[in-house]
Structure 1
Amino acid sequence: MKFATLIAALSFSACALADEVQVAVAANFSAPMKIIAADFEKDTGHKAQLAFGTAGKFFAQIKAGAPFDVLVSSDKDTPDKLVAEGLAVESTRRTYAIGKLVLWSARPDVVDAKGEVLRKGDFKHLALANPKLAVYGAAGQEAMKRMGVLEAIQPRIVLAENITQTYQFVASGNAELGFVALSQVIGKEGRISEGSYWMVPAELYPQIRQDAIVLNLGRDKPAAKALVDYLKTPKARAVIKAYGYDLD
């Protein structure tokens, strides 16, 4: 009887300590974050409620009072701005991944291994996440600018709201090709197995350092900092690397 009472007390204590955090997650990090959130709950008891979108939109929403405890951003600039606005806790900031940009087509005969398709212009539509809101869109735009092809391609660019919609435009065939995150097209075997692609050289776009940070609403929630710290654990880093990101 005493043993059963002790077990019940310990179970109640564990539940009392468990918490729920509201997390704004960059769209490019959707797939790995779902896995990491599940592992986080198993390992800590804390539950992470995930919302996916662009860094630019999340910044506006957080400024307007959106109830997020943590931002898992697609860039470093958005956390910079949130800290400057007094809306995030600088000491909790962590770089959890470095993103990679890919020019991808769902068809096997569209994108060549050197990206020359951009110079030849043998396509009607190229999908790009809105550069004003999405860091991968800005990276794609910069890559075309450095290649000297942006002006010629501009009339054929189809702007997407975020990197998820960019992928959908290309996957559906509404655009023959587009700039996406490597994490969106890499398979379980660690390579791109569908369509055709060009891994955009790192020198053609600014490094995509992706930072996570606790927001003011999560300042007093141990689970919020625990989630940001969890992104740096070996288990989480293995997931992040499997999805094609570099590690800091």
Structure 2
Amino acid sequence: MRVRDAEGRVRRITGHYVAGCDGGHGVAAPAVPARTAVRDHGITWLALLVQAPPSSPNVLYGVHPDGFAGQMPRTPDITRYYLQCDPADTPEVWDDARVWVALENRLHASVHGPLRRGPVVERGLVRLRSEIRDRLQHGRLLLVGDAATAISPSAAKGANLAILGAELLARALTGALRDGDAAGVSRYSADYGPVIERAQEFSHWMIDLLHPPAAADPHADYQRVLRRSRLRDLSVSRAHQDFFADNYVGL
């Protein structure tokens, strides 16, 4: 590969393998011929960074008829919030007053206590979309992280998958380059693929759990009954709690 350095000189870089770690919009993923299963979930989140301590040290998920809300602690003074919104919305229509009314309502602050407020320092939109590739390598190019798969943030699995993929790739490359055993490289897709698929399945399950059915869905009443049943099972069934914990925390 030839690249141009800061001084404008062309340099040639060589290597035994190439790790595609440049995300979903980089050049590595399109270089791997693969069939890709894509799902646009039709759901949009307003992503917010608030200059305020978290209201709880734990992740909070708000299940509400008006839409999903979530709190994810970041630092002692910065908190991430999410609000499900109309896909046609722009961040600007959500001023601070509207944001806090929705968060207090959907996170049931009247029951659990008021949220710790602060200025909203960042607003953006996240459209829930997932991609699963049937191949993660081509020749000596191996994909990892967001280059290997795109997953919705509903179950917070993106970073977990990236870290595990990096670990699998490191083991495979160590075996090939240090020990002369390329078996790990050869089965990289076979090892990493099922882990991605399991995380994708749980993420999709979480989407159905967290979000109310669309108003235009002819089966909306039925979907609401199923969601209520799932939430009830999570509150009373140890088997369901173990399933949730195993999938949410682990891989």
Normalised by the shorter chain, which TM-score bucket? under 0.3
Larger RCO (CA within 8 A; separation ≥ 6): 1
Larger Rg: 2
Structure with a larger share of its residues in helix: 1
TM-score (normalizing by structure 1): 0.24
